[in-house]
Chains A and B, each alone.
Chain A
């Protein structure tokens, strides 16, 4: 494992159901890596194992077999508080349904990961305002989630995901609940974050348009990596076309 690898997945397997019950193999031995600063997409149809994979990477679920190393931490060997701390410090999350706490203002939502670390309030204020500037949500900070539109909510969620500078940002269909304009804005923002802050981004999606913002795409089918394409030097619309083609043949 080289030092500039952020995620290293080796022979990952996940089986649901107990040994004496009917079992279902969701992941059947996955191998892949994500380099530091890379923007990787994971695509696949419903039921292909995308979300299961993301849950393994983010320690929300435990693999049956195999290793997951994130930024040098072997997550399969962690327990209890270690897992919670790992999620709080190493990973930033963006979910399809935002997962904002509706009892807190946007500012308090964004500050949560820092508060968990015990950051001083001066540093926290500074970090919140910096990230709010980047995502142009500075004027929304005092509002509650119920007062925000879907796109605004997702930008607040993105701000919360990166405010503590995690080693990797994971998105689970982050544009799934957004209209096309908001979706595009969010994807542009993710690209900016990826390039300006050199933060690795792992995007799980089944939407080809979202995927076209990535540098590399892994296609999962029935719990295994079916194929992989790279954007290389081509522009986004060309890459989009390539994805569509790949999907066309991949699902046959």
Chain B
């Protein structure tokens, strides 16, 4: 009977349950996808070109587990806040605590099990499509990546079901220990925090100090090595917490005494924030960290994505070099947006490759200004030299030498002969056409085909690349894993952080419902209430957002060692920030809409 009642209770709030279930399902799906990547040894072995990649994956997995724990904690408190009134009622009607405890345990566990099961299936599907899509979009190829991987399924199931068993036990203990009256009147008494100026000051100073240590640790990752990350995580967490605790209350209470607070609902808004911010300090801290990690990960990922072609562009003076081009290759070349093109005749004999001076005179070989690499990164400067000068130094140019690669590594020694001598010179004759395109990424598809044909016809020794396109392909292979991780973790963190915030805010909704009902009775316009709620939730989203952005700006220092000189973790972060903030804003809009629906009193109808 009681079971039936409990089921009826769930039916009545199916929309809230759907939100909860959807959030948990997404979380499980994301975890599965990550576990699939992190535990798949075959995949890691083939793709972990960088020795630290498996370490990074492991670190990512631990972070994801921690976040999952926090996430389930908040989801659980949301569940509890929805149900405690019902359970209080059952107890008042005479249900034993033991029976209620069983019900709570079962309900939490069943919900968790369903979420885990759907989540894994969803994770499988998402692995199939999203990962494929992401890789395709990034132009990456990761071998041995399959959607279905049994150890990952087991890991996800064990972790989630384990966590839900813990959550169920927690709920059971919590509910059976609380008095019936408290359960029935859960509209929490708003505790009004007082400001102690001295303590507040100390907390602020300590907070800034801890943040300072954390930011310094990230910047000094070269000397601190792996110790930097845990150190920074701990100090930044404590620092953010103390800083929030110290400053937010003072600001809000300061604002309450201004004239602004006495207009419309501003005073009410500040009053709400006053006790809310205090209760939310811990959660806001966690969310700001998650925000930072998500944004940081995406920034680094996109940094690689955008800067690899840039870097590749600045490596050499031509994108591809085609030997003895055939008609099909010529067709492909015609499709490119060519910036510079030249064809030279080569004669190879022994260890020497001969060039015709007349050809070089007519179409001088392009050189690039190296040295100030960072400056020339965006606009590498190309120039040509007079033939005499080129004969002296230009012959030594790496790009020029690369036009004739020998099978056993190393290059033919280039020699320039005048037209007459060249004509007499015996040797294998072939032509080489160098092409520099305007934008490597734009012509990526054609270049890929062109390069494949060339490599097929003239097999190169390993580790040797000719032309910027090949360098780009090789670098993508090396950094692709990092890039992919960045995007993936970023999206996962963002999804979880926003859901944490959403659940925490939504679990406060029942209390707010009464408050807005009072405002409604007193004669506050709907539009004013709507705006008030939008501001209140907006501020709760904004605080961790701002802190997260600051964290990222400092935290990117950490990636300086692995994004060496021509690349920079800070290059072009504006657009990524904008996209990320856009996604964050969408979450805000969803939370707000849900909140409006729960909290706003409905106008009477006939």
Contacts and interface: CB of A to CB of B under 8 A. Distances in A.
Contact of B523 (A62, A89, A95, A101): A89
B526 A84 contact: yes
B275 A99 contact: no
B518 A62 contact: no
B274 interface: yes
A61 interface: yes
A64 B606 contact: yes
Interface in A79-107: 80-81, 83-89, 91, 93, 95, 99-105
A64 B605 CA distance: 10
A102 B190 contact: yes
B150 to A, nearest CB: 52
Contacts of B262: 111, 114-115, 119, 121, 124
A1 interface: no
B524 A80 contact: no
Contacts of A111: 262, 267
Given A83-B603, A115-B266, A99 B521 contact: yes
A113 B272 CA distance: 17
B526 A80 contact: yes
**Secondary structure class of chain B's binding surface, majority of residues:** helix
Given A99-B518, A101-B271, A81 B525 contact: yes
Interface string B269-295: 001101100000000000000000000
B515 interface: yes
B606 A108 contact: no
Q: Which of A80, A103, A116 has the most CB of B within 10 A?
A: A103
A147 to B, nearest CB: 8
B199 interface: no
B523 A91 contact: yes
A84 B521 contact: no
B268 interface: yes
A61 B275 CA distance: 32
A160 B519 CA distance: 12
Interface in A110-133: 111-116, 118-119, 121, 124
Interface string B499-522: 000000000000000010011111
Contacts of B256: 108
Contacts of A104: 267-268, 271
Nearest to A161: B522
B189 A103 contact: no
A118 B263 CA distance: 6
A121 B271 contact: no
B326 interface: no
B174 interface: no
B266 A103 contact: no
A101 B605 contact: no
A118 B604 contact: no
A89 B524 CA distance: 10
B192 interface: yes
A237 interface: no
Given A103-B272, A112-B267, A124-B262, A87 B190 contact: no
Contacts of B527: 81
B523 A87 contact: yes
A80 B525 CA distance: 8
A114 B262 CA distance: 9
A83 B523 CA distance: 8
A24 B267 CA distance: 42
A69 B316 CA distance: 86
Contacts of A86: 523
Nearest to B527: A81
Contacts, number: 95
Contacts of B604: 60-62
Contacts of A83: 603
Contacts of B266: 115
B268 A118 contact: no
Contacts of A108: 256, 261, 267-268, 271
Contacts of B264: 115-116, 118
B528 interface: yes
Given A60-B604, A103-B274, A84 B524 contact: yes
B446 interface: no
Nearest to B191: A146
B196 interface: no
Contact of A101 (B261, B263, B515): B515
A95 B604 CA distance: 19
A83 B521 CA distance: 10
**Residue picked from B262, B267, B527, most chain A C-beta under 10 Å:** B262
A93 B519 CA distance: 12
Interface string B548-564: 00000000000000000
A103 B268 contact: yes
B295 to A, nearest CB: 32
B39 to A, nearest CB: 48
A91 B261 CA distance: 24
Nearest to A166: B523
B259 interface: yes
A88 to B, nearest CB: 3
A115 B606 CA distance: 31
B191 to A, nearest CB: 8
B265 interface: yes
Interface in B294-329: none
B523 A84 contact: yes
Interface string B522-536: 111111100000000
A99 B521 CA distance: 9
Contacts of A121: 259, 262-263
Nearest to B272: A103
Nearest to A103: B271
B525 A85 contact: yes
Contact of B518 (A89, A91, A101): A101
Contact of A115 (B267, B274, B515, B605): B267
Contacts of B192: 103, 144, 146
A88 B526 contact: no
Query: Can you list the 7 inter-chain pairs with the closest CB atoms, starting with the nearest?
Result: A88-B523, A87-B523, A103-B271, A121-B262, A84-B525, A104-B271, A121-B259
Given A95-B521, A121-B263, 11 more contacts: A62-B606, A87-B521, A87-B522, A103-B192, A103-B275, A113-B523, A115-B266, A116-B523, A116-B524, A119-B262, A144-B192
10 contacts: A87-B523, A88-B524, A95-B521, A99-B522, A102-B189, A103-B274, A103-B515, A112-B267, A115-B263, A116-B264
